């Protein structure tokens, strides 16, 4: 409670400080805009009045000069009077003392004023008082973490009966990281987070968006998840296949060399789910199929084969046929196409008290693809609870993610 309360206070303070800074900036920008408008009106309106004033002042100054010259001519010496009077008369005839420039009428002269609507404060006040809420319980919570090889299956559930979710948003971070990052947004209530380092704590949180709403709900209580299982990896170096940087995606390249690409180690354990996903490689297409193409698991790596359709292996071909120890079953799954997902689930079934020491050993196998599944027992002559996985494709373009 104390940790979430402290975090909530920090978030509120930061948010309202940001709001205050933004509002001040917007108000300053609006004030500057209005002041510039006042300056522009003032300059445009005062210019003709200033020019009219200059003309009037020039005319008054000229009349004063002429008046002083006339007084001097009247009061001067008799010998100079005629000359000064002639000069005065000539100037008086050329100067129009009875005319003035046109002066704008009072109604045409602008008178500036500021029009401020006080209702803005009322609107802002009402909006501010309704801005933000404090929720004591998020509507969704994390429910379960399931270890996966190099990943974690995260499940969550709705805990508020009155809340109708439209989308969920899952975030995670390493325990040493400072920021969460989005890993899933959608309508499902579970998601496998891949690229997880084994034996490292990760923190998860989830929130939801109500039906028809844009804002997200409060975050769930952060919880820690981890996996102890190393990630599945394909074996590097086989000429016919190119691998991703994490070696969990294999692409059948255009090399003529063919063979079975195996996992680096027997990392698939009974009781887990092994998933192959056909990833698009190019323009919504996969490679050309071949009857030898296959995805599956095997007891051991065996060189020299061009398919997993052999002894000590179970697999699915790209046309959906299921093979057990090299023999095709009557049951069949849908063909593998763009975006197809194939899963293998196995559990140990003991045939006798000596099964762990040798002799017959049975695994209950469930293979699923496109909402269909086949279930059968795989009988082996040795105890085997960890298996290799593999794939074989004859033509380029097939791209498989394993997790």
How sure is the predictor about 27, in pLDDT bands with cuts at 50, 70 and 90? very high
Other CB atoms closer than 10 Å to residue 285's CB: what's the count?
A: 11
Beta strand ranges found along 267-326 (DSSP E): 268-269, 273-278, 294-298, 313-316, 321-324
Domains of the chain by start residue, with CATH: 1-130 (no CATH), 140-227 (2.60.40.10), 241-402 (2.60.120.920)
| For residues 82-98, average pLDDT | 72
Other CB atoms closer than 10 Å to residue 372's CB: what's the count?
A: 12
User: Between the CA of residue 113 and those of 34, 41, 116, 119, what are the distances in Å?
Assistant: 11, 11, 10, 18
Contact yes or no for 143/157 (Cβ under 8 A): yes
pLDDT at 251 over 90: yes
pTM passes above 0.75: no
Return phi, psi of residue 224, to 5°. Answer: -100, 135
Q: What is the pLDDT of residue 357?
A: 47
| Cα–Cα nearest to 152, from 225, 222, 204 | 225
| For residues 153-170, average pLDDT | 91
| For residues 128-136, average pLDDT | 77
pLDDT at 97 over 70: no
User: Between the CA of residue 281 and those of 26, 187, 337, 403, what are the distances in Å?
Assistant: 49, 26, 12, 18
Other CB atoms closer than 10 Å to residue 247's CB: what's the count?
A: 16
Of the two residues 116 and 328, the one the predictor is more confident about is: 328
Distance CA 163, CA 139 (A): 7
Contact yes or no for 346/271 (Cβ under 8 A): yes
Distance CA 39, CA 59 (A): 30
| For residues 25-50, average pLDDT | 88
pLDDT at 227 over 90: yes
Q: What is the pLDDT of residue 54?
A: 83
pLDDT at 334 over 70: yes
Output the CA angle 24-27-29, nearest 5 degrees.
110
pLDDT at 352 over 80: no
| Cα–Cα nearest to 170, from 150, 142, 139 | 142
pLDDT at 96 over 80: no
Q: Which region among 77-81, 320-324, 389-393 has the lowest average model confidence (pLDDT)?
A: 77-81
pLDDT at 358 over 70: no
Distance CA 202, CA 151 (A): 11
Burial of 94 (0-12, 13-18, 19+ CB in 10 A): exposed
Q: Which region among 24-38, 58-72, 233-247, 291-305 has the lowest average model confidence (pLDDT)?
A: 58-72
Contacts of 203 (CB under 8 A, 6+ apart): 172, 173, 174, 175, 180, 222, 223, 224
Q: Name the CA dihedral angle for 46, 51, 55, 60, rounded to a multiple of 10 degrees.
A: 40
Q: What is the pLDDT of residue 112?
A: 83
Distance CA 386, CA 378 (A): 14
Dihedral over Cα of 43, 44, 49, 51: its sign:
positive
| Cα–Cα nearest to 375, from 311, 317, 329 | 329
Per-residue HEC secondary structure of 135-148 comes to CCCCCEEEEEEEEE
Of the two residues 13 and 71, the one the predictor is more confident about is: 13
How sure is the predictor about 18, in pLDDT bands with cuts at 50, 70 and 90? very high
Q: What is the pLDDT of residue 191?
A: 94
pLDDT at 355 over 50: no
Q: What is the pLDDT of residue 132?
A: 75
Dihedral over Cα of 285, 291, 297, 300: its sign:
negative
Q: Which region among 50-54, 239-243, 337-341, 384-388 has the lowest average model confidence (pLDDT)?
A: 50-54
Q: What is the pLDDT of residue 25?
A: 94
Q: What is the pLDDT of residue 314?
A: 96
Q: Which region among 97-111, 124-138, 162-176, 201-215 has the lowest average model confidence (pLDDT)?
A: 97-111
SS3 40: helix
Other CB atoms closer than 10 Å to residue 134's CB: what's the count?
A: 8
Residue 397 backbone class (left: φ over 0; alpha: ψ -120 to 50; beta: rest): left
Q: Tell me what the pLDDT averaged over the chain comes to.
A: 86
Matching residue, tokens 């097939």? 398
Helix axis angle, 78-94 to 2-75, nearest 10°: 140
Of the two residues 234 and 286, the one the predictor is more confident about is: 234
Of the two residues 301 and 283, the one the predictor is more confident about is: 301
Q: Which region among 86-100, 223-237, 304-318 has the lowest average model confidence (pLDDT)?
A: 86-100
Q: Which two tokens stand for residue 102?
A: 């046109």
How sure is the predictor about 125, in pLDDT bands with cuts at 50, 70 and 90? confident
Distance CA 401, CA 31 (A): 59
């Amino acid at each position: 409670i104390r940790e979430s309360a402290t975090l909530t206070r920090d978030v509120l303070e930061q948010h309202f400080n940001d709001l205050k800074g933004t509002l001040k900036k917007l108000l300053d920008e609006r004030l500057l805009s209005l002041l510039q408008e006042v300056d522009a009106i003032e300059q445009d309106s005062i210019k003709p009045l200033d020019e009219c004033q200059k003309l009037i002042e020039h005319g008054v100054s000229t009349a004063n000069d002429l008046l002083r010259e006339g007084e001097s001519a009247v009061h001067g010496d008799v010998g100079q009077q005629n000359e000064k009077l002639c000069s005065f008369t000539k100037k008086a005839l050329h100067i129009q003392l009875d005319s003035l420039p046109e002066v704008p009428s009072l109604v045409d002269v602008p008178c500036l004023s500021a029009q401020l609507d006080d209702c803005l404060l009322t609107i802002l006040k009402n909006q501010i008082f309704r801005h933000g809420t404090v929720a004591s319980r998020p509507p969704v919570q994390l429910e379960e973490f399931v270890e996966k090889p190099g990943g974690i299956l995260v499940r969550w559930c709705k805990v508020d009966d009155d809340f109708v979710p439209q989308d969920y948003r899952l975030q995670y971070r390493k325990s040493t990281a400072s920021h969460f990052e989005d890993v899933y947004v959608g309508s499902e209530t579970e998601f496998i987070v891949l690229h997880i380092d084994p034996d490292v704590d990760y923190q998860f949180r989830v929130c939801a968006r109500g039906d028809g709403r844009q804002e997200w709900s409060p975050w769930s209580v952060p919880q820690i998840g981890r996996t102890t299982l190393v990630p599945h990896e394909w074996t590097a170096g086989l000429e016919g296949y190119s691998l991703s940087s994490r070696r969990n995606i294999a692409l059948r390249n255009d090399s003529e060399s063919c063979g079975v690409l195996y996992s680096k180690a027997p990392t698939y354990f009974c009781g887990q789910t092994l998933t192959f996903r056909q990833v698009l490689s190019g323009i919504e297409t996969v490679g050309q199929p071949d009857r030898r193409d296959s995805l599956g698991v095997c007891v051991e790596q065996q060189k020299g084969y061009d398919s997993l359709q052999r002894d000590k292996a179970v697999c699915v071909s790209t046309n959906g046929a299921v093979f057990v120890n090299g023999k095709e079953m009557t049951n069949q799954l849908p063909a593998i196409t763009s975006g197809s997902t194939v899963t293998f689930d196995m559990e140990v079934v003991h045939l006798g008290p000596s099964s762990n020491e040798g002799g017959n050993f049975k695994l209950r196998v469930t293979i699923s693809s496109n909402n269909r599944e086949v279930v059968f027992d795989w009988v082996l002559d040795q105890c085997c609870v960890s298996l290799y996985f593999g794939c074989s494709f004859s033509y380029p373009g097939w791209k498989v993610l394993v997790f």
